[in-house]
Amino acid sequence: MNLVDRFLLYVQKDTQSDEDTDLVPSTPAQMSFAKELTEELKQLGLQDVALDGNGYVMATLPANSDESRPVIGFIAHMDTSPDLTGRNVCPKIITSYQGGDIILDPEEPVVLSPSDFPELSSYIGQDLICTNGKTLLGADDKAGIAEIVTAMEYLMAHPEIKHGKIRIAFTPDEEIGKGPDHFNVEVFGASFAYTMDGGEIGELEYENFNAASAKITFKGRNVHPGYAKHKMLNSIRIANQFVGMLPRSETPEHTEGYEGFYHLTGFHGDVETTVLSYIIRDHDRDRFDRRKKEVEHLVNKINSEYGASIATLDMKDQYYNMREKIDPDNMYVINLAIAAMEAVGVTPQVRPIRGGTDGARLSFMGLPCPNIFAGGLNFHGRFEFVPIPSMEKAMQVIIKISELTTINLI
């Protein structure tokens, strides 16, 4: 099966994750897809193919070189984002895109336009895979899975390409931040790995946000509004006051590059109880800690004004910047990826991730794991698309990394 056919098959599997369940994986569909992948890997002839009870798929491509080289790994996640439905995905191929608007859904209408997404203009003349305007596509991260599997198939068919032992893994629940929760680094057995989960062609990322979640619950007191003076405490208004106390310029829509933010992701409530959900992000660990302390300070300030325990805070760290684990001791992993990209005609775009990746937590678990492009753009929505040549280049990068581990680069 070729790369595009494999990708088109994978995206039609509905594997959305769900943060509101206590299941592992969080949705049964992910386990179903994991079973299908397991059978496919066995049929291809990979060794040590295993699916554990938590939905993690692992397999081995044995070394075909006598040289003693480190075991390398390639990882992608099976789930798609809960932000938009992944059911009944009907991908469409735009052959030799000539510029201008792409009508995804003529009924609504839904239009993928370079006026809204100027990056489209970088792919004129290329074949693009888009959605039908009703669902996400699932290139995040079905493109990564297809690239890894097809690269392994290619290496098996071309034994003249010498490589060391290669381990691959497909994980559940990355989109809800639980991808590495049950990942067994020791069983995986790689010296280092790459997640194939980046965006546009050339992306190589080994810096990501430090991340925390914060849930603030405001307790009010409801009294008939006609008799509420000096009695009512409206939790919605108190919560709104808290939102206004955080700096307006330090939100996702006002920041870029290394700038951190406070992001309000949920606001639910009534007079009696209101709950705010935030994510807190910063690349710098000291600034990250200061952001968390600021949230604590403002919660205390609300309580000093309205009374103890009016506001309660539940804040948890989620992951940290993987740069701490890669620079300087493991920079050879980055240099290897750069050499592989350049060898196949891809210009590396080394940049910080304004988000997270399974590789961040895996790096802190002892597996250095930067992130390489899978080729897709506009993830998590109906405007998602992936240029076919970008997927092909990602596959070539995997093959070249595998080959370069047999020469004196690391």
Amino acid at 270: D
Catalytic residue, chosen from 174, 175, 197, 203, is 174
Percent helix, strand, coil in the chain, to 5, is 35, 25, 45
Is 174 known to be catalytic?
Answer: yes
Work out the end-to-end distance of the chain between its first and last CA atoms, rounded to an integer number of angstroms.
33
Give the separation between CA 87 and CA 301, rounded to whole angstroms: 45
- CA-wise closest residue to 362 among 113, 143, 193: 193
Catalytic residue, chosen from 14, 40, 79, 384, is 79
Please give the order of strands across the beta sheet that includes 273-282.
261-269, 273-282, 210-219, 311-319
- Strand partners for 105: 110
For residue 114, say if its preceding peptide bond is cis, omega within 30 degrees of 0: no
Q: How big is the chain, counted in residues?
A: 410
Sequential DSSP letters for 266-302: EEEE-SSEEEEEEEEEESSHHHHHHHHHHHHHHHHHH
* Catalytic sites, residue numbers: 79, 174
